[in-house]
């Protein structure tokens, strides 16, 4: 039996029951593929359900506000995916008459759709013979064929795409592509795969050569930078606070947060107070206090953000204030969302306390 036929046979016996596997509707497939970029099925699944409920068709997503799209996306990460998702929904709804294009090349032109996603939609929705190469496929192919070219090198990307094209199943591309990814996710897993029960074990080159544990080869990871964030959380006697939108390029773009003061190292209360004297909003602060005894270390793949939330009690907020109860309507980073949960369990809550 050929490689492709083994994959297909394994897939028929082992595939998970997932909502996007019961349709070939391009809107649903596209939505699931964008959400699953660099994201495990278990993490993306509840978001997929939420989006399908709120936006049954591409027109519904196109008509929604970016605020609502980001709020529903909150917690899934890589927020440029949500912004590109919204832009592409508008493009398809208003420029393409609600119809997704059906070729790899045209799909590739959509925002947020790269080589992998264009191939996935073209094959799964339209049966086109385009090989998908995601993290799972890199692992399966590198092991089965014993390829040690780094998968994130220019040469590797090209080599594995070509190899994937050579071994794919042309007639059953829809199931084959999903099958090889599922095989990587369930059987040929990154750590300690159970090769004893693998249907490809007799012809797997890495297993024969004892290199399963060292494949695929990947070039060095980028090193983590440490940042120091001081979030200034205004609380006025009228129950108002201040939220600002992150508008510059970079992390959490277009999400909302409390006024932020970045520093080179952790600030002491005294140092912070000096800075607040010169600020527009906070020079008349009644009281300033650190919220958490220990600073929060929010860990991202490329950033460690040491964070202190400072409660700034004020008589009033002259302009730009919003009722604290409305904060939860805004899309915010997980870091902020978790603080809000702690705040609601603290003695600051509820805010209209005689203490203030």
Taking the C-alpha atoms of residue 165 and residue 130, their distance in angstroms, rounded to an integer, is 7
C-beta of 234: minimal distance to DNA in Å? 22
Nearest to 310 by CA among 255, 251, 257, 269: 269
Binder among 249, 283, 319, 345 for DNA (CB under 7 A): 249
Binder among 208, 303, 326, 344 for DNA (CB under 7 A): 303
Q: Mask of contacts with DNA, 177-216, x by CB under 7 A?
A: -x--xx-xx----xxx------------------------
Q: How far apart are the first and last CA of the chain?
A: 75
Whose Cβ is closer to DNA: residue 150's or residue 321's? Answer: 150
Taking the C-alpha atoms of residue 206 and residue 148, their distance in angstroms, rounded to an integer, is 10
244 counts as catalytic? no
Binder among 219, 280, 283, 355 for DNA (CB under 7 A): 219
Whose Cβ is closer to DNA: residue 27's or residue 282's? Answer: 27
| Residue 84 contacts DNA per CB under 7 A | yes
| Residue 302 contacts DNA per CB under 7 A | yes
Binder among 13, 105, 250, 350 for DNA (CB under 7 A): 250
Pull the structure tokens for residue 246: 């992150």
Whose Cβ is closer to DNA: residue 78's or residue 145's? Answer: 78
Check the CA dihedral 35-41-46-52 and report its sign.
positive
Whose Cβ is closer to DNA: residue 39's or residue 275's? Answer: 39
Whose Cβ is closer to DNA: residue 62's or residue 182's? Answer: 182
Q: Mask of contacts with DNA, 258-297, x by CB under 7 A?
A: ----------------------------------------
Whose Cβ is closer to DNA: residue 118's or residue 343's? Answer: 118
- How many residues of this chain bind DNA (CB under 7 A)? 62
Cα distances (Å, whole numbers) of residue 276 to 93, 101, 264:
48, 54, 17
Stretch that binds DNA, among 55-63, 237-245, 250-258, 347-355 (CB under 7 A): 250-258
| Residue 21 contacts DNA per CB under 7 A | yes
C-beta of 177: minimal distance to DNA in Å? 8
Taking the C-alpha atoms of residue 232 and residue 307, their distance in angstroms, rounded to an integer, is 11
Nearest to 232 by CA among 341, 336, 338: 336
Taking the C-alpha atoms of residue 190 and residue 143, their distance in angstroms, rounded to an integer, is 11
Range 24-83, binding DNA (CB under 7 A): 32-33, 36-43, 75-80
C-beta of 98: minimal distance to DNA in Å? 20
C-beta of 134: minimal distance to DNA in Å? 3
C-beta of 133: minimal distance to DNA in Å? 8
Q: At what angle do helices 41-54 and 66-73 cross, to 10 degrees?
A: 150
Taking the C-alpha atoms of residue 195 and residue 188, their distance in angstroms, rounded to an integer, is 8
Q: Which residues are registered as beta bridge partners of 297?
A: 306
Residues lying near DNA in the complex (CB under 7 A) are found at 18, 20-21, 32-33, 36-43, 75-80, 84, 111-118, 134-136, 138-139, 153-154, 178, 181-182, 184-185, 190-192, 218-219, 221-222, 225, 249-253, 298-303, 333-335
Question: Which residues are designated catalytic?
Answer: 33
């Amino acid at each position: 039996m050929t490689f492709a036929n083994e994959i297909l046979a394994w897939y028929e016996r082992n595939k998970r029951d997932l909502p996007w596997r019961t349709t070939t509707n391009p809107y649903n497939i596209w939505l699931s593929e964008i959400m699953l970029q660099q994201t495990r099925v278990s993490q993306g699944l509840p978001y997929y359900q939420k989006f399908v409920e709120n936006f049954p068709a591409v027109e519904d997503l196109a008509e929604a506000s970016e605020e609502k799209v980001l709020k529903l996306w909150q917690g899934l990460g890589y927020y440029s995916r949500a912004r590109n998702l919204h832009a592409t929904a508008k493009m398809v709804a208003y420029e393409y008459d609600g119809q997704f294009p059906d070729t790899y090349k045209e799909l590739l032109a959509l925002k947020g759709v790269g080589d992998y996603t264009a191939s996935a939609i073209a094959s799964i929705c339209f049966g086109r013979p385009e090989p998908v190469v995601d993290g799972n496929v890199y692992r399966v192919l590198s092991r089965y064929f014993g390829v040690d070219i780094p998968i994130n090198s220019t040469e590797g990307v090209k080599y594995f795409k070509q190899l994937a094209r050579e071994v794919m199943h042309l007639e059953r591309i829809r199931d084959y592509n999903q099958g090889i990814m599922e095989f990587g996710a369930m059987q040929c897993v990154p750590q300690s795969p159970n090769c004893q029960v693998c249907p490809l074990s007799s012809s797997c080159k890495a297993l024969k050569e004892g290199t399963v544990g060292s494949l695929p080869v990947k070039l060095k990871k980028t090193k983590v930078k440490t940042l120091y964030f001081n979030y200034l959380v205004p609380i006025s006697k009228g129950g108002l606070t201040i939220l600002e939108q992150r508008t510059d390029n970079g992390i959490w773009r277009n999400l909302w947060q409390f006024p932020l003061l970045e520093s080179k190292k952790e600030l002491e209360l005294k140092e912070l107070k000096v800075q607040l004297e010169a600020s527009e909003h906070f020079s008349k602060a009644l009281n300033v206090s650190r919220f958490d005894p220990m600073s929060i270390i929010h860990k991202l793949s490329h950033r460690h953000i040491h964070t202190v939330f400072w409660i700034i009690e004020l008589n009033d907020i002259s302009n730009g204030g919003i009722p604290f109860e409305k904060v939860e309507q805004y899309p915010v980073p997980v870091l902020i969302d978790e603080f809000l949960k702690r705040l609601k369990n603290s003695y600051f809550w509820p805010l209209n306390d005689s203490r203030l």
